Amino acid sequence: MITLQFTRHLFSFFPQLEGRVVQVEAQSVAEVVRALEALAPGIGFYLLDELGRVRTHVNIFVGPDRIRDRKTLSDRVQPGDTVWILQALSGG
Amino acid sequence: MERVGSQWVAKLAGHAGTGVNFVARDPYTGRLWALLGHGHWGAKLSVSDDGGATWADNAAQIRYPEGARFIAQDMYEDAGSEFGVGVNISTKPATLQELWVIGFGPGGRVLVGTIPGGLFESHDGGATFALNRPLWDHESRGGDLTSGEAERETQWFGTPASEGGDFAAGIHSIVVDSANPERLLLAVSTAGVIESADGGRTWRSRNKGMRKDHSPEPEAEWGHDTHYIEQCQHQPQHIWQQNHAGVYYSNDGAESWQKVSVPEQGVHFGFPVTVDAHEGRRAWLVPARGDNQRTAIDGGLFVARTDDGGQSWTQQRKGLPQGNAWDVVYRHALANDAGCVAFGSTTGNLYVSEDGGESWTTVGNNFPPIYSVRFG
């Protein structure tokens, strides 16, 4: 299972994710987002644009490493990994 | 805000801390729509069916369809150029940068204007939206760019209002003709006024009489920097326009425009305009000094009103700050209803008049930047 950690900002839009351990089955970050969409419908469009790219001011980490493929999210995940979905600190 | 006894009282109606570009009530359904700009999380449509007590993301969001592209003009560093920069013109896939304006028509019609330059239509009250392809693929924008490179240049240019940073065009004004809902008028920064007489199947420019004083081709068909247009509800042939290059008025339904600026009275540059619902010759503006100084004029805030189609103007200052007031009022932040006029500024000041602008009351001075003021 992959464990997800979120910026608190997202809980104001998706309160169903707050105060619980969120875990999904996935082999890539793209699959993580797809599984997350089933738990919180609409969240995919908060994280990605229409082209499926990670929004400019969103960051996703697998463990300590920021994902490299922001276009198709092909970065692999392993059972036991933690994926962090965060807002980028883009100044200010 | 609402009138409680003898006072206007403002209250928070949701979305604290979120950028809200436009709020309006669908007069056909009573539903409130908010056009949000979340920054990190993108632009979202939010709706409320209980007068703003609770809000939810609309089930259908605005998304450009796969293959929707537009001609972009991006500046880049170019050491080989004598100017140090070059301009790269390319076709780019469209993604939603900003929701800018929403309009409503009978029969479940909801229209949303966006950056970059999309008109999204719903015929089912907002349950589904689709990009209007005849406008997106219009010859003035280079034609159908679904595949291949553009064969023509775009005559649409950009607006700095985009949150996403791209210098792309935006649709900020939507008029559903009150006499004929199949007739639509849009205004675009920067292209001008655009009309469809057949419900959005075909489009043409409506820029006759407008002059681009800032351009070597001032009377070109396209490229006009209309800041906002509004139609008189009960005299729909009367349409008003605040333009980058002055104030325009049409009494023939936008067939032609007359420039009615009086710069020596401060009536020339600004963003918003609002027209009386019954008397099409009566309109209000909140002028700014000019494009080189986007502030109130000489530190004194005033509203300019005409009752005669722009032949004469009155500066309405009573109750508005006349010392060190440098407010600027954006295009959607001035409105009127039955003699009541209200506006808000980017410096968070909100004013209302109940006598057609003769005198003004301050509702508050510490709001965030105010982008949208609507009655409803």
User: What residue of A is the nearest CA neighbor of B38?
Assistant: A46
The answer to whether the CB atoms of A58 and B57 lie below 8 A apart is no
The answer to whether the CB atoms of B40 and A57 lie below 8 A apart is yes
Which residues are paired to B2 by β-bridges? B9
The answer to whether the CB atoms of A57 and B39 lie below 8 A apart is yes
User: What residue of B is the nearest CA neighbor of A54?
Assistant: B41
User: What residue of B is the nearest CA neighbor of A86?
Assistant: B40
The lowest-confidence range among A72-76, B25-29, B145-149 is B145-149
User: What residue of A is the nearest CA neighbor of B46?
Assistant: A13
Distance between CA atoms of residues B134 and B183, nearest Å: 15
Please give the pLDDT value at position B153: 84
Please give the pLDDT value at position B204: 98
User: What residue of B is the nearest CA neighbor of A88?
Assistant: B40
pLDDT category of residue B300 using cuts at 50, 70 and 90 = very high
Region B199-227: mean pLDDT is 94
pLDDT at residue B268 greater than cutoff 90: yes
Coil, helix or strand at residue B108:
coil
Using a CB–CB cut-off of 8 Å, the residues of A that contact B are 9-10, 13, 42, 45-47, 49-51, 53, 55-58, 87-88, 90
Best of A8, A13, A43, A45 to disrupt the B interface (most B CBs within 10 Å) is A45
Distance between CA atoms of residues A5 and B314, nearest Å: 59
Q: Is the dihedral of CA B289, B292, B294, B299 positive or negative?
A: negative
User: What residue of A is the nearest CA neighbor of B43?
Assistant: A46
In a domain, A80, yes or no: yes
Question: What's chain B's length in residues?
Answer: 376
The answer to whether the CB atoms of A45 and B63 lie below 8 A apart is yes
Question: What is the ipTM metric for this complex?
Answer: 0.93
In a domain, A53, yes or no: yes
Coil, helix or strand at residue B242:
strand
Write out the H or E segment, with its range, that includes residue B172: strand B170-176
The answer to whether the CB atoms of B96 and A9 lie below 8 A apart is no
Give the position of tokens 């007590």: B53
Which pLDDT tens digit goes with each residue over B129-171? 999 999 999 999 999 888 776 666 889 988 777 666 677 899 9
Please give the pLDDT value at position B259: 98
For residue A17, give Cα distances in angstroms to A10, B1, B261: 8, 34, 55
The answer to whether the CB atoms of A56 and B164 lie below 8 A apart is yes
Please give the pLDDT value at position A92: 58
In a domain, A92, yes or no: no
Nearest residue, CB atoms, A55 vs list B40, B57, B61: B40
Q: What would you measure as the largest C-alpha separation in chain B, in angstroms? A: 68
What is the residue-averaged pLDDT of chain A?
Answer: 95
pLDDT category of residue B80 using cuts at 50, 70 and 90 = confident
Distance between CA atoms of residues B324 and B283, nearest Å: 26
User: What residue of B is the nearest CA neighbor of A58?
Assistant: B40
Distance between CA atoms of residues B47 and B64, nearest Å: 20
Domain boundaries B2-64+92-364, corresponding CATH code: 2.130.10.10
Please give the pLDDT value at position A36: 98
pLDDT category of residue B89 using cuts at 50, 70 and 90 = confident
pLDDT at residue B247 greater than cutoff 90: yes
**Taking CB atoms and an 8 Å cutoff, what residues of chain B touch A60?**
none
CB A73 within 8 A of CB A30: yes
Using a CB–CB cut-off of 8 Å, the residues of B that contact A are 38-42, 44, 57, 61, 63-64, 66, 93-96, 164
pLDDT category of residue B214 using cuts at 50, 70 and 90 = confident
Type of residue at A85: I
Q: In what order do the strands lie in the sheet with A65-66?
A: A22-24, A2-6, A82-87, A58-62, A65-66
pLDDT more than 70, % of chain B:
98
CA distance B118 to chain A (A): 14
**Taking CB atoms and an 8 Å cutoff, what residues of chain B touch A90?**
40
Please give the pLDDT value at position B76: 82
Give the position of tokens 């392809």: B133
DSSP labels, B100-129: EEEEEETTTEEEEEEETS-EEEESSTTS--
Please give the pLDDT value at position B137: 94
- Burial letters for B10-25: b for 16+ Cβ neighbours within 10 Å, e otherwise? eeebebeebbbbbbbb
The answer to whether the CB atoms of B38 and A42 lie below 8 A apart is no
**Taking CB atoms and an 8 Å cutoff, what residues of chain B touch A55?**
40-42
Give the position of tokens 């034609």: B143
* Overall number of domains in chain A: 1
Type of residue at B49: D
Q: Which domain holds residue A71?
A: 2-87
pLDDT at residue A69 greater than cutoff 90: yes
CATH of the domain at A57: 3.10.20.30
The answer to whether the CB atoms of A50 and B39 lie below 8 A apart is no
Q: Is B371 exposed, middle or buried (0-12, 13-18, 19+ CB in 10 A)?
A: buried
The answer to whether the CB atoms of A50 and B96 lie below 8 A apart is yes
B224 phi/psi in degrees, rounded to 5:
-80, 145
pLDDT category of residue A90 using cuts at 50, 70 and 90 = low
Please give the pLDDT value at position B150: 61
CA distance A68 to chain B (A): 19
The answer to whether the CB atoms of A13 and B42 lie below 8 A apart is no
Nearest residue, CB atoms, A55 vs list B42, B44, B63: B42
Which pLDDT tens digit goes with each residue over B172-196? 999 999 999 999 999 999 999 999 9
